[in-house]
Amino acid sequence: MTIRPILIHPDPRLKTVAAPVGEITEEIRTLAEDMLQTMYDAPGIGLAAPQIGRSIRLLVMDCVKEEGATPRPLVLVDPEITWSSEEAATYEEGCLSIPDQYADVTRPAEVEVTWTDLEGKPQTERFTGLWATCVQHEIDHLDGKLFIDYLKPLKRQMITRKMAKLKRERARA
């Protein structure tokens, strides 16, 4: 398994609509393993393929955060939201592509998602709580959308400027 570098906003690859995966190949299985490793290492609770520069509809997540609890790594290939609750929930979100920046985002509190697993089997699950927020945030990545796109323009511009500066500093280091 390999830890892959995570793209930092602003990057045109984070604004691109990703293509369907289709057939699950050995390369896709390896990529999913690497993405899980990269996510746990960061550490984070979700990672989408565009964040490591692959423009395909693949994401991983594990929202089990309690110390000592059994991890629940999920790999979602070609996920689709098939139902969203009327009820909304607000969480303070962050993103591995926007380090150390957090803001409240309001989304549907529950969603039903269908996807294909790594064995090529169709899966459906209704997500609630942090899982619901996370899966919506990650599916947004597949559509070239970031959580800061939900914020007011001024706040979004402020964060984008900070990230551009961070990238310049990292490039010089």
| Cα(124)–Cα(79) distance, integer angstroms | 9
Q: Is 56 in the site for Zn ion (CB under 5 A)?
A: no
> Minimum CB separation from Zn ion for residue 39, in Å?
10
Q: Which residue has the tokens 């509809």?
A: 57
Stretch that binds Zn ion, among 6-14, 30-38, 67-75, 87-95 (CB under 5 A): 87-95
138 flagged as catalytic: yes
- By three-state DSSP, how is residue 124 classified? strand
β-sheet bridge partners, residue 91: 105
Q: Is 36 in the site for Zn ion (CB under 5 A)?
A: no
Please provide residue 5's backbone torsions phi and psi, each rounded to the nearest 5 degrees.
-65, 140
Residues ≥6 apart with Cβ < 8 Å to 30: none
Q: What is the dihedral of CA 148, 151, 155, 158, to 10 degrees?
A: 20
Nearest distance, CB of residue 60 and Zn ion, angstroms: 12
Candidate segments 11-19, 20-28, 91-99, 150-158, binder of Zn ion by CB under 5 A: 91-99
Total interface residues for Zn ion by CB under 5 A: 1
Q: Which of 112, 125, 138, 169 is the catalytic position?
A: 138
Among residues 6, 18, 58, 95, the one that binds Zn ion under rule CB under 5 A: 95
Nearer to Zn ion, 24 or 95 (CB): 95
Query: Per the structure block, which two tokens stand in for 148?
Result: 């800061």
Which residues of the chain form contacts with Zn ion (CB under 5 A)? Answer: 95
